[in-house]
A and B are shown apart, each in its own frame.
Chain A
Amino acid sequence: MSDATVFIVDDDQAVARSLRWLIETVRLKVETFASAQAFLDSYDETKPGCLVLDVRMPGMSGLELQERLAARRDYHLPIIFITGHGDVQMAVRAVQAGAYDFVEKPFNDQDLLDRIQRAIAHDAGQRNKEEQRSQLKALFASLTPREREVLDLVVEGMSNKAIANTLGLSAKTVEVHRAKVMEKMHARSISDLVKLAMQNPSVTS
């Protein structure tokens, strides 16, 4: 979380500079951009943090930037919209379209900083889950087709004997496959294995 960056996109440079000055007090890295396009041009998906966006901007609006990010990938940085007076409708639309949060100008500094911290924590959590999911995917990918079959039946709660009958194998062979699956999936017990398998929608379906 310490390497999180707050990305600020605001066409008003004075406001962008002032936000940087404020956010840096909580020892967060800050990068400012004068337009949505400038941000998109240098956007690196792997950098954690959050995005602070002015809802009204010339050229590409904040809402449009949000759409572009969503179109690129399932997951993107959480977005906190800054709205002006009377822009609540826009804020509602932004949240409906998946924005993480919004603050209305004039805002309380602590409030904004808290929301930023929450967004960064949310981002870290999401990235963590994403990480686990891809690790799990890699583990499943390492199984042979036969091992996958054995795993599926284990998860269904079949005994070794029943699995052997179903697959037309000897009980001994099923035993070997099962041990191999446990080892590859880093599972210490059957219940561990079942939990892992449940996390992978491609297996349970």
Chain B
Amino acid sequence: MESDVMWLGLIALGGGLAAALIGLAYLLLRLREAEQRVRDREADHQGVLDRLQENEYRLRTIIESEPECVKLQAADGTVLEINPAGLRLVDAERAEDIIGRKIYEVVAPEYKAIYRENMRRVFAGEAAVYEFKSITLRGRTRWMETHAVPLRDARGEVYALLGITRDITEHKWAEEQGRRHQTELARVARLSTMGEMATGLAHELNQPLAAIANFARGCIRRLRSGDMAPADMIEPLEEVCEQAERAGEIMRHVRDFVRKSEPRMTAVDINQVVRGVVKFTEHEARQHETIVTLQLAPQQPRVWADSIMVEQVICNLVRNAMEAMAERHSLRREIVIRTVPHGEDTVEIEVVDTGPGIDETVIDQVFDQFFTTKTEGVGMGLSISRSIVESHGGSIRAESRTGGATFRFTLQAIPASLRKDERRYSFHS
């Protein structure tokens, strides 16, 4: 009996053991399956990782071999990454020279504000293109142009600025040369205008000189014949002095006119400039039998300008009007020069004539270089006038109406609130 129980026990144990073994085998099998799955997944994962790495490597190769400077910057201007072209651009020998440092270290002081403003825009989500002057790590000056876009993380937040920057120093230099050339052209045009005016000027100077000679000789004759008391000489001698001053005034004006100089920006009373022009073209007006009328706004803000250049613009417009009216034999020959303040920050100058007007088909070309309708014109006057006006931050346009043409241009006025701080305005000059 006991052995039965023992057998039974053994059998049960054996059965249990067998079951356990089976169970174990099953578990082992599952485990192996799971391991296989994990291994499979890991292999998958590795593939993704490899692809990612491949991608990054490819991008990095592209960026590193890119001839333009490519860089990443943080919001505070810290350079996060930069490619070799970028290193060369800022004269850095190793990446550590610039990475981790602020980009502002290579931005010229006067451009830091502009740079900051563009950084702000990019981190606000906009794309931006900006030019700035750079002082490289070796102290060289370069002009740069950056195209910048925001880089966003998975949550869509901007975490860096991606900038592609190129060296535009040569381009800038060419531009500068062009501008210098234009200034030089303006001077040449002023001189040739002087040439045209030489006859007029000679006449203008002859008037006071002739008067002086007449007064003086009248005195000599009277003194020789003895019919003159010394007191009688005072009046003619005063006339002599006055005429000598008149001649001097004409000469001063000519000197101002031909002087070669950079634009000299000052606070200018535009009405005074207009009056000067009228005085200076008086002789031509007489010659062309033209009446010049002024309608000057009293009490208007001063403009920030080079008075000689602005004078030249008005001179050109007035002279053009006179010549147009004379050449087409206009019966009524009148020019109105008007100054009109527009709000606080702009003053408009109008030159209105009663001439033939401007043909619709060419009105857009009148400011082009070498465009002229005059038989002896060279087509520089209006082109130079436009560059002068634009260099002053203004604009110029031509209009034709029945019975004449109107030219108007704007200049920046000095608002009352800023009148004491004119230096701020030099930025626009």
A: residues with CB less than 8 A from B are 11-12, 14-15, 17-19, 21-22, 24-25, 56-59, 84-86, 105-107, 109
Q: Which residues of B contact A59 (CB under 8 A)?
A: 289
* Cα-based distance from A24 to B202 in the complex (angstroms): 27
- How many residues of B are in contact with the other chain, CB < 8 A? 27
Q: Which residues on the A side are within 8 Å of B218 (C-beta)? A: 18, 21-22, 24-25
Stretch at the interface among B83-91, B203-211, B405-413: B203-211
A58, B286: Cβ atoms closer than 8 Å: yes
Flag if A15 contacts B211 (CB, 8 Å). yes
In the complex, which residues 201-249 of chain B have their Cβ closer than 8 Å to any Cβ of chain A? Answer: 202-203, 206-215, 217-218, 221-222, 225, 236, 239, 242-243, 246
**Cβ contact within 8 Å between B285 and A18:** no
Shortest distance in angstroms between B256's beta carbon and chain A's nearest beta carbon? 23
| A14-B246, A21-B218, A25-B218 known; A85-B206 Cβ under 8 A | yes
Instruction: Give the residue of A22, A57, A86 whose beta carbon is less than 8 angstroms from that of B214.
Output: A22
With beta carbons under 8 angstroms apart, the residue of A18, A58, A85, A107 that contacts B211 is A18
- Is A85 in contact with B202, judged by CB distance below 8 angstroms? yes
CA distance A109 to B222 in the complex (A): 13
Interface of B is mostly: helix
Q: Look across to chain B and name the residue whose beta carbon is closest to the beta carbon of A61.
A: B289
CB within 8 Å of A: which B249-271 residues: none
The reply to whether A84 and B239 contact each other, CB–CB distance below 8 Å, is no
Contacts of B369 in A (CB 8 A): none
Are the CB atoms of A22 and B203 closer together than 8 Å? Answer: no
Contacts from B to A (Cβ < 8 Å) = 199, 202-203, 206-215, 217-218, 221-222, 225, 236, 239, 242-243, 246, 285-287, 289
Task: For A106, list chain B residues within 8 Å (CB).
Answer: 206, 209-210, 213
A107 to B239, CA, bound (A): 19
Cα A59 to Cα B285 in complex, Å, equals 10
Q: Is the CB of A14 within 8 A of B211?
A: yes
> What chain A residues lie within 8 Å of B217 (beta carbons)?
22, 109
A25–B203 Cα distance when bound, in Å, is 26
Q: Are A18 and B214 in contact (CB under 8 A)?
A: yes
A-B contacts, 23 listed (Cβ < 8 Å): A11-B286, A14-B207, A15-B210, A17-B211, A17-B239, A18-B211, A18-B214, A18-B215, A21-B218, A21-B239, A22-B215, A22-B217, A22-B218, A24-B218, A25-B218, A25-B222, A56-B287, A84-B203, A86-B202, A105-B210, A106-B213, A109-B213, A109-B221
CA distance A109 to B218 in the complex (A): 9
B225 touches A15 (CB 8 A): no
Name which residue of chain B comes closest to A19, CB basis: B214
In the complex, the answer to whether A25 meets B211 with C-beta atoms within 8 Å is no
Query: In the bound complex, what is the Cα–Cα distance between A199 and B215 (angstroms)?
Result: 47
Secondary structure at the A interface, as helix, strand, loop or mixed, is loop
Inter-chain contact B208/A14, CB cutoff 8 Å: yes
A109 to B214, CA, bound (A): 7
> How far is it, in angstroms, between the C-alpha of A159 and the C-alpha of B312 when the chains are bound?
87
**Could you say which residues of chain A place their CB within 8 Å of the CB of B208?**
14
Chain B CB count within 10 A is highest, among A18, A57, A86, for A18
In the bound complex, how far is the Cα of B214 from the Cα of A15, in angstroms? 8
A84: which B residues are within 8 A, CB to CB? 202-203, 206
CB <8 Å contact, B286 and A56:
yes
Smallest CB-CB A-B distances: 10 pairs: A18-B214, A21-B218, A58-B286, A18-B211, A25-B221, A109-B217, A84-B203, A22-B218, A22-B214, A85-B202
Q: How far is the CB of A105 from chain B (nearest CB, A)?
A: 5
The answer to whether B213 touches A56 (Cβ under 8 A) is no
CA distance A85 to B198 in the complex (A): 10
A12 to B210, CA, bound (A): 11
| A14 B239 Cβ-Cβ under 8 A | yes
Q: How far is the CB of B322 from chain A (nearest CB, A)?
A: 12
Tell whether, in the assembled complex, residue A21 and residue B286 are in contact, meaning their CB atoms are under 8 Å apart. no
Least Cβ distance of B244 to chain A in Å?
11
Contact indicator B199/A86 (Cβ below 8 Å): yes
- A67 CB → nearest B CB, Å: 15
